[in-house]
């Protein structure tokens, strides 16, 4: 039987799966490619209802970054689930972040261990789960964190259940990491992610995919903070004796509008400006913050030097401007080890006669902390979570029709990763610099 026709037939009895919006439906049935696993596809389809039930229960938990109570509820649920899968579970503090990092160890055979990771925090305020509860309409599930990244959490759990049902413990050793602070740059979990990554041959990260594909590179993130010191004065009686920090800041920000370099994939956007508290006082202080995204690490130093040259030429005499450039998350660039994983995943999707685009994303993820510059180990692949969009907004959604194929992909990856060539260079001892 053709595998894609099987997808369509299997979908019919599942009442929750409403028709997909135009352009989101899977391609028409095509001839089965060699090596496809019809049994796994049936098993993946059978997992759709349990997947959605578990996802609904997690979306109902407010777990925004810093919301300790909700993050603990997430951790308690996930610890129980990992133990049911036969994992030995550890909890690690995520200070200075709220919540704890959950690490589960599933024993297996061989020495090419696999790390699966995704975050449990969201960007939404407390009460959002009640205001916008989980719902399904027109082939999409909606709710806070439904794709980013609670869908990825459930993808890991359901894929591991499928793997265990098919093979017991006859698979590579697997470690699962759930961290509570990715949305704020992983300040409390970056070191542990890097440490665990160095012990594994492969790292699979489960952020959502904007298409039915995978992510083979992400940007690094840094923050630029300008502070201007001037002198206050009465805005009406004696303004000339002041040194207006707000006006100086405006001049500097305008002069620094071209810090980005599209050819290098670097963007710098000024996003937060602050100055003054009273309208009748010339402000003595002002500050601005910019979001920097980059692919090449040397861009950090180029931007730093350009800013220092610019702010060294004040527009208002008597004002002083200083810069703090803070790396928040390293980049995850395209690299040969990750491209080998992409090819492995593409071959699996060809079993379903589906394309698998490899996408470069402008956001930063924990894949940047797992990636080890200068080493071919571990091989890192991002974007293995659900297909979704509208991230960080009330319009966030997850595509239902893609779930069976995504589960199929993850399980087959776990089954076939031993076919990848072994690493050829040792892992470095140092953790990647910078986190956020």
Q: How far apart are the first and last CA of the chain?
A: 49
User: Which whole-number Å values give the CA distances from 266 to 219, 258, 296, 371, in the listed order?
Assistant: 9, 11, 8, 19
CA–centroid distance for 154 within its chain: 15
CA dihedral 264→224→307→240, nearest 10 degrees, is 150
CA 323 to centroid of chain Cα atoms: 28
Which residues on adjacent β-strands are paired with residue 322? Answer: 227
Angle in degrees, CA 229, 233, 238, rounded to 5: 140
- CA 233, CA 284: separation in Å to the nearest integer? 8
Continuous segment of H or E residues that includes residue 46:
helix 38-46
What does the alpha-carbon distance between residue 31 and residue 50 come to, in Å, rounded to a whole number?
A: 29
Instruction: Round to whole Å and give the CA distance between 104 and 92.
Output: 11
CB 178 within 8 A of CB 119: yes
Which amino acids are annotated catalytic?
Answer: 121, 182
Helices 150-167 and 48-59, packing angle to 10 deg: 140
**Distance (Å, rounded) from C-alpha 280 to C-alpha 28?**
68
Answer yes or no: are the C-beta atoms of 324 and 288 closer than 8 Å.
Answer: no
Strand partners, 101: 92
The CB density around residue 148, as the number of other CB atoms within 10 Å, is: 27
Listed residue (103, 107, 106) closest to 178, CA to CA: 103
Provide CB contacts within 8 A for 146, sequence distance 6+: 55, 59, 134, 388, 396, 397, 398
Q: Alpha-carbon distance 376 to 338, whole Å?
A: 9
């Amino acid at each position: 039987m053709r595998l894609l026709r099987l997808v369509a037939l299997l979908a019919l009895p599942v009442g929750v799966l409403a028709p997909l919006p135009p352009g989101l439906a899977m391609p028409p049935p095509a001839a089965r490619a060699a090596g496809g696993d019809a049994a796994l596809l049936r098993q993946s389809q059978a997992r759709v209802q349990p997947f959605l039930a578990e996802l609904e229960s997690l979306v109902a938990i407010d777990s925004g970054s810093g919301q300790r109570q909700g993050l603990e509820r997430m951790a308690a649920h996930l610890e129980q689930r990992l133990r049911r899968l036969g994992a030995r579970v550890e909890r690690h503090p995520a200070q200075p972040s709220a919540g704890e990092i959950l690490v589960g160890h599933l024993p297996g055979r061989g020495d090419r261990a696999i790390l699966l990771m995704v975050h449990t925090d969201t960007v939404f305020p407390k009460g959002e789960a009640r205001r916008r509860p989980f719902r399904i309409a027109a082939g999409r599930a909606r709710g806070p964190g439904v794709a980013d990244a609670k869908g990825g959490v459930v993808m890991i759990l359901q894929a591991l259940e499928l793997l265990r049902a098919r093979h017991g413990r006859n698979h590579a050793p697997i470690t699962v990491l759930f961290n509570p602070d990715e949305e704020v740059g992983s300040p409390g979990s970056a070191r542990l992610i890097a440490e665990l990554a160095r012990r594994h041959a492969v790292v699979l990260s489960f952020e959502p995919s904007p298409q039915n594909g995978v992510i083979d590179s992400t940007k690094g993130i840094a923050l630029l903070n300008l502070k201007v010191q001037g002198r206050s004065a009465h805005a009406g009686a004696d303004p000339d004796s002041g040194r207006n920090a707000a006006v100086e800041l405006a001049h500097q920000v305008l002069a620094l509008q071209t810090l980005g370099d599209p050819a290098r994939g670097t963007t710098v956007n000024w996003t937060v400006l602050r100055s003054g508290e009273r309208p009748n006082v010339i402000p003595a202080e002002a500050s601005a913050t910019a979001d920097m995204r980059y692919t090449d690490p040397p861009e950090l130093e180029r931007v730093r030097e350009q800013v220092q040259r610019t702010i060294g030429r004040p527009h208002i005499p008597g004002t002083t401007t200083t810069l703090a450039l803070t790396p928040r998350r390293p980049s995850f660039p395209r690299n040969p080890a990750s491209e080998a994983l992409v090819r492995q995943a593409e071959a699996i999707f060809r079993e379903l006669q589906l394309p698998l685009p490899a996408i470069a994303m402008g956001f930063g993820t924990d894949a940047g902390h797992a990636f080890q510059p200068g080493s071919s180990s571990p091989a890192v692949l991002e974007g293995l979570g659900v297909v979704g969009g509208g991230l960080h907004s009330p319009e966030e959604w997850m595509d239902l029709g893609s779930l069976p194929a995504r589960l199929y992909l993850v399980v087959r990856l776990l089954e076939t990763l031993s076919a990848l060539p072994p690493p050829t260079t040792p892992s470095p001892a140092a953790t990647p610099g910078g986190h956020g």
